[in-house]
Structure 1
Amino acid sequence: MASITKLENRKAKPWQVRIRRKNQTFVEYFRTKREAADFAAKVEADFDRWAKLLGGELRRHTLAELIDRFMARYHGKDVSVTARAGWWRDEYGTRPLSEFTGDTVREGLSRLAELTARQGGHLVTATDRALSPATLNRYRTAISTIYKAAMDAGWFGIKENPAAGIRQRRENNNRFGRCLEDGERARLLEACDLANWTGLGVFVRLALATGARRGELMKLTWADVDLKAGSILLRETKNGEDRRVPLIGEARARLAEWAKVRRLDDPRLFPGATPDKNPPLDWAWNQAKAAAGVENLRIHDLRHSCGSYLARAGASAFQIAAILGHRSGPGLTARYVHLVAEDSRELLEGALGAMLGGK
């Protein structure tokens, strides 16, 4: 039978559950009497299963061991998973799996909510902005994904996901993105061409002409460029699929000129001062925006602009999703994504060809 006792000398988890049966005794502590009673009921309903869990692997192994096992087998292309899993490991890695509960996840998310965001790029800097609800949801998803993998694979006797009962935070999607208008686009392209980093004009035109993400463009190498056929191959994209996109008009011409002054000691289209550094994209971008008088514009908004221009030109949602690399577009499959994206040169020329010369 289970006995539930409130201990006055314990503040965090004062409610003790002591279960004694079949010559075994298990003791657990909870924040509320309700949680203690629910746990006692679960154990008594299936004592053999819980006896194995409480007395076995969950006590012998830590969260760090679980995360390490997951990351050793993780082959996804979302690099943020590594950072978010690493945060859980740093903060709670020494905790036995038997003590990593839903309350622990809630506590972790509350601690994250008190942190401030950092912005990356050429130089990572701190900001005074709190982490967004969307970011907190991604941290919750990271630990949930790890536990789901453990349950599927049978690691450490894990049978429950501590993040399963925690609701997602409501995300604020008011800042979806904005589109460059004709006048400011011309001013911005002219300012980019005059920037101290000479690659900025090429980068911005590629972003507008292809809808590629910042990271996809920064990873491009000259081996991914086919100037003769007029296309670029975007590798290891966010949705996990490679995607080939046509090069059009001014973007193609500028890239051909850029190829004539390419660095021979670095295969990247946009190399930094040394092979282990990135170019000063953010610094040059901010300078160009200021010179052009363009406000409230992110690099990611170039991608939104591409999608908006395509929509104005009459492109279907299917075509836009394929060009931008949205795997979850209406009825899309990986095969059709490649076919539509590679066969969209005429559509891109019609929608974007006249916009990228800065005239």
Structure 2
Amino acid sequence: MATITKRDDNVSTRRWQARVRRKGFPVQTKAFASRAEAEAWGRALEALYDLGHAVDTRDAREITVRDVLARYLADVVPGLKGHETETYRCKVWMRHPLAEYAMANLTRQALTDYRDTRLLTVTGSTVRHEMLLLARAIEYGRKELGIYLAENPLRSVRLPKENAARERRLLPGEEERLLAACRGSGAPYLEHLVVVAVETGMRQSEILGLRWDRISFEKRVAVLGDTKNGEARAVPLTHRAAAAMQAMRTVRELNWHRKREYTDTGPFSKLNSTVVRHSFMRTRDRAGMPDLRFHDLRHEATSRLFEKGLNTMEVSAITGHKTLTMLRRYAHLSMDHLLMKLG
């Protein structure tokens, strides 16, 4: 039988303490608001002991969600492809009041309330990615840190749907306006970065990771060794893309060669993705297209490849899309092009 004692505690949620002792098992204690709850917990734990299961829930009662997120951030995130985004989301979670919960107290209702409140200010995709990150961190705590939870509470919470696929393409004249704004932005690399994105369909991270020793200007091909899906691929370069990369030699020489830490390993090496993102956002705002995102340039490039007559396999080989579903999400052919083909 569990030993039930009344505590001299002013906190109403822990006035009754249950203690279960059984030879061959760890001593377990837990506080409750009522004697009935304490007795029910004791009976349930003894039933597990009768089956031969030793379940030590002390870690789950003492370790907070913030503690687990901190371990996940330190141990797992640095090895992920999208570690910058994952780091940002982890830190957002760690500042939230929900992170103060002990792991054992993280309920479905608390998570549902978080979802519904968060959806008032951000999109469904944002909330979905945040909750999936928390689910990964909790699973890491269960499997790697040995924290006992009967199940991951996120499994019983309905996640918001992904946002509808974006269909933003460059309108007539927008590319010229954007490039003109890039030239006047004070960021000497930005015009060439945009040109490479529109001409090749590479992701921003892939462009920033380009290396001179993996680019053949004679064959007009760039080999990407570190891609989002983990597979290397070769990207053919148009004359315009190759010229933009070559122009970066002069840009780097004029602007960065005096810096002590300067190393010219690639056209856009040592450029910080956060700096690039903010520079692009300021420039596109000045160009009068505040709804344009850098990733939309990949949409544009993919659609242009189809409009040039390339088939699905050829486009996939260039862009690195793994499935037809993903490729269809990015390829938005212009109505004028479709009408020309239909006659």
Whether the TM-score (by the shorter chain) exceeds 0.5 is yes
Consecutive unaligned residues of structure 1, counting only runs of 5 or more, are 3-8, 115-128, 333-350, 352-359
- Counterpart residue number, 1:59: 61
1:88 is matched with which residue: 89, 93, 104? 93
Q: Secondary structure at the match of 2:321?
A: coil
One-letter amino acid of the structure 1 residue matched with residue 206 of structure 2: E
One-letter amino acid of the structure 1 residue matched with residue 315 of structure 2: I
How far is the alpha carbon of 1:166 from its aligned partner?
0.8
- Counterpart residue number, 2:174: 184
Q: Is the 8 A contact 1:151 1:159 kept in 2?
A: no
- Counterpart residue number, 1:125: none
One-letter amino acid of the structure 2 residue matched with residue 63 of structure 1: V
Q: Does 1:258 align with 2:273?
A: no
- Counterpart residue number, 1:301: 296
Q: Does 1:99 align with 2:113?
A: no
Report the Cα distance in structure 1 between the residues aligned to 2:226 and 2:175, rounded to whole angstroms. 29
Report the Cα distance in structure 2 between the residues aligned to 1:66 and 1:212, rounded to whole angstroms. 35
Q: Does 1:139 align with 2:115?
A: no
Report the Cα distance in structure 2 between the residues aligned to 1:319 and 1:41, rounded to whole angstroms. 64
Report the Cα distance in structure 2 between the residues aligned to 1:178 and 1:166, rounded to whole angstroms. 32
Q: Does 1:245 align with 2:235?
A: yes
Report the Cα distance in structure 1 between the residues aligned to 2:308 and 2:44, rounded to whole angstroms. 60
Q: Is the 8 A contact 2:108 2:156 kept in 1?
A: yes
Identity of aligned residues (%): 25
Report the Cα distance in structure 2 between the residues aligned to 1:245 and 1:73, rounded to whole angstroms. 30
- Counterpart residue number, 1:320: 315
- Counterpart residue number, 1:77: 81
Consecutive unaligned residues of structure 2, counting only runs of 5 or more, are 3-9, 328-336, 338-343
Q: Is the 8 A contact 1:188 1:289 kept in 2?
A: no
Q: Cα RMSD over matched residues?
A: 4.5
How far is the alpha carbon of 1:207 from its aligned partner?
0.3
Q: Secondary structure at the match of 2:244?
A: helix
How far is the alpha carbon of 1:204 from its aligned partner?
1.3
Report the Cα distance in structure 2 between the residues aligned to 1:165 and 1:309, rounded to whole angstroms. 43
Report the Cα distance in structure 2 between the residues aligned to 1:281 and 1:146, rounded to whole angstroms. 27
- Counterpart residue number, 2:160: 169
Q: Per the alignment, do residues 227 and 102 of structure 1 end up closer, same or farther by CA in structure 2, a change over 3 Å counting?
A: same
One-letter amino acid of the structure 1 residue matched with residue 56 of structure 2: L
The alignment covers a number of residue pairs equal to 305
Report the Cα distance in structure 1 between the residues aligned to 2:131 and 2:45, rounded to whole angstroms. 27
Report the Cα distance in structure 1 between the residues aligned to 2:308 and 2:153, rounded to whole angstroms. 48
Q: Does 1:269 align with 2:267?
A: yes
One-letter amino acid of the structure 1 residue matched with residue 104 of structure 2: S
Q: Secondary structure at the match of 1:232?
A: strand
Q: Is the 8 A contact 2:197 2:203 kept in 1?
A: yes
